[in-house]
Amino acid sequence: MALWSSSSSPKGIVVTFPVLLLTGFAVILFCFFFISNLSSCSCPVTPRIVVSGTAANNGVHIGEGVLTNKDDVEWVKDQIKANGLQMHENVLRKGINPRTRAQQLEDLRQFKGISHYEGPEDQNRTAFPCPGELLVEEHHSNYGEPWAGGRDVFEFLAEFSHITPDAHVLEIGCGTLRVGLHFIRYLRRGHYHCLERDELSMMAAFRYELPSQGLLSKRPLIVKGEDMNFSKFGSEVHYDLIYASAVFLHMPDKLVWVGLERLSNKLKPYDGRIFVSHNIKFCSRLGGEECTKRLTNLGLEYLGKRTHDSLLFNHYEIWFEFRRSKP
């Protein structure tokens, strides 16, 4: 699987043959330097101890089985082939009655097809009743991209920040836990933290996602707030990974910088990583030099841009990587 490339290529541009040839040559040259740079990386990053199952795959470090690998994909393709499976129109058939989320919600409210206790709610035997709209997973459609993309983000971040289940992770804006669920499952109890401002998203996280995924015992620390105030997370914890997926681009630049200032000393020096998705206009709007200066003042260093391909749909993530370069 192609894990990451250095940049995307513009579509629909007509190029002449010599230009193509030249470009090809430049790309090969670039790749050569890029790859040799990677393999002889002299960055002061010491790889963490990785338990068995570690393998080298095209020079890319494989952590603790986080990445879906080529064998996994081949295996699932074989299963589909061996069973002669194909996609068909999803229509009413024996024992199967496909519903939209809205139809399912209506059925649920009328207790259609569900065994339920009659009578007043004081007889309810449900330990933690969940709102119907969450039960039919309306919140899985709250994002532009499919819910499954959360796994892509997790695999990428876990892999490229070289974390283990012992790591401490902070997400800025975890929403309904589309990505966070995967971290919560992977990390030790209490090691996942998040600052989120949207109340409905937090309700979906606490009332549906965590209980339904059996992850309450992981005790994630999810705090409501929108002012980049991290005081509730304590001052002792140092994070191995801090990430913001499609969050900084929706915030005023000034607030992003306030956040970075408060986060810089919460990040583990050298090995710890900050990953920011989509763009870093809070930085580029200042101009390269000015941005570098401000980052340096905070003890931070920009390491570069990475892209990551989705496993299930034609889509790639763009991530910007930072580290703390001062003890």
Ligand X SMILES: *[C@@H]1O[C@H](CO)[C@@H](O)[C@H](O)[C@H]1NC(C)=O
Rule CB under 6 A: say whether 129 interacts with ligand X.
yes
For CA atoms 3, 167, 251, 134, the dihedral sign is positive
Among the candidate windows 2-10, 118-126, 161-169, 288-296, which touches ligand X by CB under 6 A?
Answer: 118-126
Distance, CA of 26 to chain centre: 32
- Partners of residue 222 on adjacent β-strands: 194
Rule CB under 6 A: say whether 232 interacts with ligand X.
yes
211 burial type by CB count under 10 A (0-12 exposed, 13-18 middle, 19+ buried)? middle
Among the candidate windows 94-102, 121-129, 199-207, 296-304, which touches ligand X by CB under 6 A?
Answer: 121-129
Look up residue 93 and give its DSSP letter: B
Tell which one of 23, 97, 124, 265 touches ligand X (CB under 6 A). 124
Distance, CA of 75 to chain centre: 25
Among the candidate windows 71-79, 94-102, 161-169, 228-236, which touches ligand X by CB under 6 A?
Answer: 228-236
Q: Which is nearer to ligand X, 70 or 224 (CB)?
A: 224
Among the candidate windows 63-71, 124-132, 297-305, 319-327, which touches ligand X by CB under 6 A?
Answer: 124-132
Tell which one of 71, 89, 118, 121 touches ligand X (CB under 6 A). 121
Look up residue 216 and give its DSSP letter: G
Instruction: At 146, list the tokens.
Output: 């499919």
Tell which one of 9, 231, 235, 314 touches ligand X (CB under 6 A). 231
Smallest separation, CB 120 to ligand X (Å): 9
Rule CB under 6 A: say whether 229 interacts with ligand X.
yes
Q: What's the CA gap between 29 and 236, in Å, rounded?
A: 46
Q: What's the CA gap between 272 and 257, in Å, rounded?
A: 18
Which residues lie near ligand X (CB under 6 A)?
A: 121, 124, 126-127, 129, 229, 231-232
